[in-house]
Structure 1
Amino acid sequence: MLTSPSTDAIALLTGSYTPDSGGDGPGVAALLLDPATGRTTYDDRVKPLPVSGASFLAAHPSLDVVYSTNETEAGTVSAVARDGDGTLSPLGDPVSCGGANPCHLTVHPDGAWLLTANYGSDTAPGTVAVHRLGPDGRLLEPTDLVIHQGSGPVTGRQEGSHAHQVLVDPAGRFVLATDLGADAVFTYRLDTLTGTLERVAVNAVRAGSGPRHLAFAPGGDLVFSADELSSTVTCHRYDATDGTLTELSRAPATAAEDVVNQPGGIVASACGRFVWVTNRGADTVAAFRLTGTTLEPLGEVPAGGTWPRGLTLAAGHLLVANQHSGTLAALRVLTDGTLTQSHPPVPAPSVVCALAL
């Protein structure tokens, strides 16, 4: 459904797999979230932009520019400009990110660097790329590419490294990259003059867990991981002085016992008391309360579709990108951390992520 924006609506962008990347989505599309009701609608002012394989989106910290992975074997990333009414247009051509199947990216807080996690393939290892950004947010030359090494015990998934996420810690001191194939979180220091990465730690996690995504607690001393292969959620102590992680507690991502489940997105609340994770297989979103450093399950609710992948917190709602059903659901977060759905999900073909602006 299309609609005109209200004054208090939250602008959203969704990313989807396109026909040339195995899906039937439009690429990048613009929607609106009513924070009072949780109703999500398409923004009729903005035409979708056909960005190939737009599996993850990240916003520039100070410019009206958004970056997208182009998740294909060719391995590129794109910059997208937004004008005053939200209209989307390419900002330059896609550029190579030096690896296959880029699946996550983030902009450094200083706005000068784009960091990309390349999942790799059966024959190509996981890598992390760095690009310089121009004053207008345009993608400039690549400045570094680091190659991950490692493997794990899960046949068919961990024969080699597979970088799955890259993010900057809350202190802005280190860059962390999860690797599903290597059962590790790699810690780097970014030289903000040259755009090069120096490895400072390799944090091994439990064998066969397959860390996919991390979410920091507000204070930065705790970080939570969605473990795709072991179907768990783990709370780690994070040492901001040396970039190391220490496991503190662990919980099953779902109570469902009759499905093969793969956690996807993970989000921590602004108050630091709650954590939520999507469950692909169980098709739920699970809520956890943090008591001390222990994760306590609060229950699960239907995800509003099948194969919930991306998870985004916006205006008191969790936006759930259900890839296989092609639906975007908005779940209201209640004061006790549990979730409820007020409105039916909106159709969103091959959607895999959402970004609140």
Structure 2
Amino acid sequence: MRFQHVAAAGLTTSAVAVNLFVSSYSGIVTSLQLAPSAQGPGIGGYVLTTTASNNESGPQPSWLTKDPYNNVIYCVDEAFSTPNGTMTAYTTSKSGTLSLIDTQATVVGPVSTVIYNEGKALAAAHYSGSAATSWNILPSGGLKSLQTFMFNLTAPGTIPSRQEAPHPHEVILDPTGSFIVIPDLGADLVRVFAINPKTSLLTESTPFKVPAGSGPRHGAFLKADSGKTFFFLISELANTIASYEVSYLGATGLNFTNVFLSGTYGNRTTPDGAAAAEAILSPDNKFLLTSSRNATLFQLDNFDKTNSTKIPSDTLHSWAIDHAMGKLSLKQIAPAGGSFPRQFSVNKAGDMVAVGLQMDGRVVVIERNVADGTFGDFVASMDVAGQVTSVIWDE
């Protein structure tokens, strides 16, 4: 199927080229450039081209973070077959070329990082390593190990095949910059850490327990127009999306009160085998955008117009946010462009979404209507070697 074209006002990427960075389990970080097509409309008037590639990040790069305070990209290597993961820092460039600054060994299995304490430090979640780490960011952009937190379970969780050990899946900074939370898929916890602004040290607080068997994966904080703070949590094993009103327990902890819970497909029955994945806010904070893998609800025309084979597609979901109560309303279930949209990101203008399709080895760019929050046409596509794990905008 093909979506009707949605004319999003003021597409900032339509006038100038913009770089994206893509990690994959091929061991390569690929630089792509999105630009208006000189040869006509193509898929949607744009073209993705490869401008550079880098293989210095380890065998299984799993996550990319751009430091908002400088032009440094941090890449973590999940390292399936080696004793340690790696943390790698690069400087960016207008050409898309990445230049190595530093590589540090770390606990195996890093899958997410976040910059905190106003650019002074970085924290990481380690899925297979059952750990979290923190790092000082040096003036060069390099890293120096600060702390390591190892987690344990006394017994397997409700779903032993996935909850045999703690599996921290993401590190998320709260709106005040005072706390980091870590959804732990294996332990059914949202772990809470207070940040010391003088030293960047993290202090573990009382974790928040989610329903047994949920498998919390990713989440996002919102400082709402009402003045309230909400936390949205997507859980992979239960395929749920939940909203919590957050209250602050001084400088030491957070309290979470559930205000909304839904299946990730809203009122629609969750397809067998579905696995909830990403959850991010739109830049204007009006919508929560989520993805689900392993549920091919759509059959798309092939991006290669010479190929008539249909592309099975998993889904992206758009939820409108009630800023007074923190509740969500499902606006749309849209095709993701292929199989396993493990991660995706939105440009600063909010009018384009870059999706990493893990099992297809593909990146697609989708137009997005800023006003109503819906996904529109596919405007560009590029095959990338290996299983794509992360794609981010260089803005």
TM norm structure 2: 0.79
Picking from 134, 143, 166, the partner of 1:161 is: 166
In the alignment, is residue 288 of structure 1 matched against residue 319 of structure 2? Answer: yes
Distance 1:57 1:171 in 2: 23
Counterpart of 1:343 in structure 2 is: 379
From 154, 175, 184, give the equivalent of 1:179: 184
Q: CA deviation at 1:109?
A: 4.3
- Are the structure 2 counterparts of residues 43 and 312 from structure 1 closer, same or farther at C-alpha, using a change threshold of 3 Å? same
8 A contact 1:13–1:28 mirrored in 2: yes
The amino acid across from 1:252 in the alignment is: G
Q: Secondary structure at the match of 1:160?
A: coil
Contact 1:237 1:247 in 2 (8 A): yes
Letter in 2 for 1:288: W
Would you say 1:249 and 2:260 are equivalent positions? yes
Matched, 1:149 2:149: no
Worse-matched range after superposition: 327-336 or 223-232:
327-336
Structure 1 residues 168-196: Cα deviation after superposition (integer angstroms, max 9, x where no partner): 21111111111111111111112244443
CA contact (8 A) 1:127 1:146 kept: yes
How many angstroms does 1:84 deviate by? 4.9
Of 307, 331, 340, 2:366 maps to: 331
Match runs of 1:136-285 below 5 Å = 136-140=140-144, 142-150=145-153, 152-219=157-224, 221-241=229-249, 242-254=253-265, 255=268, 257-282=270-295, 283-285=314-316
Cross-structure match for 1:67: 74
Amino acid at match of 2:134: V
Amino acid at match of 1:269: S
**Cα 1:6–1:277, aligned 2, differ >3 Å: closer, same or farther?**
closer
SS in 2 for 1:152: coil
- How big is each residue's C-alpha offset from its partner over 1:137-190, in whole Å with a ceiling of 9 and x where there is no partner? 1122x1111122345311211122111111221111111111111111111112
Which ranges in structure 2 are unaligned for 5 or more consecutive residues? Answer: 1-12, 38-43, 296-313
* TM-score, structure 1 normalization: 0.87
Aligned-residue CA RMSD (Å): 2.3
Q: Which structure has more RCO (C-alpha within 8 Å, separation ≥ 6)?
A: 2
Q: Would you say how many aligned residue pairs link Structure 1 and Structure 2?
A: 338
For residues 207 and 39 of structure 1, the distance between their equivalents in structure 2, rounded to whole angstroms, comes to 45
Is the 2:33–2:49 contact (alpha carbons within 8 Å) kept by the matching residues of 1?
A: yes
Deviation of 1:230 (Å): 0.4
Closer/same/farther in 2, CA of residues 240 and 313 from structure 1, 3 Å limit: farther
8 Å CA contact 1:288, 1:297 repeated in 2: yes
What is the distance in 1 between the residues matched to 2:180 and 2:87? 19
If you compute each CA radius of gyration, which structure gives the higher value, 1 or 2? 2
Where 1:345 maps in the other structure, the secondary structure is strand
What is the alpha-carbon distance in structure 1 between the residues aligned to residue 158 and residue 14 of structure 2? 51
**Structure 1 residues 201 and 34: CA distance shift in structure 2, 3 A:** farther
- Deviations 1:125-146, CA, capped at 9 Å, x for gaps: x111011121011122x11111
AA at the equivalent of 2:316? V
Identity %: 25
